Amino acid sequence: MNHNQKPPRFKIGDIVVITQYGTVGTVTDIEHVDGDYLYKVNHGHQFFLESCLDSISTYQGGEIEIEQLEVQLKYYFGDLVFVKGYGKNIFKVVGIRTEIWRYKEGSFEEIIYELSRLSDGEWLEAAEEELILIADSENAETFLQKLTLFYMIQKQKKTMELQAIMDMSKKTEKEMIKIKKEKAEIIDGLLDVYNDYRDLYEVFGDDKYKKVMELAMKNLEKYMQNHNTVDGNKET
């Protein structure tokens, strides 16, 4: 800063009165243009000159208008949602932000939801109309447990189907190719489960994800052991 330059009267975080409206807000941005300081209030689009603002502690104008806003939230912390454009990716609501815009000719409020993707923790912002509720915060854990169980049942079903095929006494070359492919799919599927829930455990540190990892590894080891036994008997 130039030593001859006058410092700004207000700083970010100061509570001020917009004197022309008599409304109260918080300084959220400061710009220095052509020797004048310009201030944003409540993240609005409009900049105000220093002369248009006054400290709430020294304001001598008329009655101050302090708004009482009632914001209706459709989603809450911990809710699980889909986001339009992100397919079947599941996100968790981790933050809620209300942006208030005020202009001389009108005003509006906007609710922004801050989200974290369960698979990798990727952070995302979305408006209310972009979200689809999967499970509210009270039922989120139960939903994830059921989803995990369904996932494991589907994998186990494939394993059982493969075992039945392997017990057949005669297999054509075409059948052998199919079996090998299904074996790879089962192993890949169990590894996918393990890796997905390892990532969730690393992001959230929740023991329920660790239990799923251990269950996936136990099923993989059991399958590999059975597979090796079958192959050994066949070779004998």
pLDDT in tens, 137-157: 888 888 778 777 766 777 777
Query: Is residue 111 packed enough to be buried (19+ CB in 10 Å), middle (13-18) or exposed (0-12)?
Result: middle
Query: Residue 158 — very low, low, confident or very high, per pLDDT cuts 50/70/90?
Result: confident
The answer to pTM > 0.85 is no
With a CB cutoff of 8 Å and minimum separation 6, the contacts of 46 are 40, 103
Q: Is the pLDDT of residue 232 over 50?
A: no
Token pair of 44, please? Answer: 């609005």
Q: Which residues of 183-207 are buried (b: 16+ CB within 10 A; e: fewer)?
A: beebeebbeebbebbbbbbebeeee
**pLDDT computed for residue 108 by the predictor:** 64
Amino acid letter for position 178: K
Q: Is the pLDDT of residue 170 over 60?
A: no
Q: Is the pLDDT of residue 173 over 50?
A: yes
Give the pLDDT confidence of 101-129 residue by residue, as tens digits.
Answer: 665 565 667 788 999 998 888 889 998 89
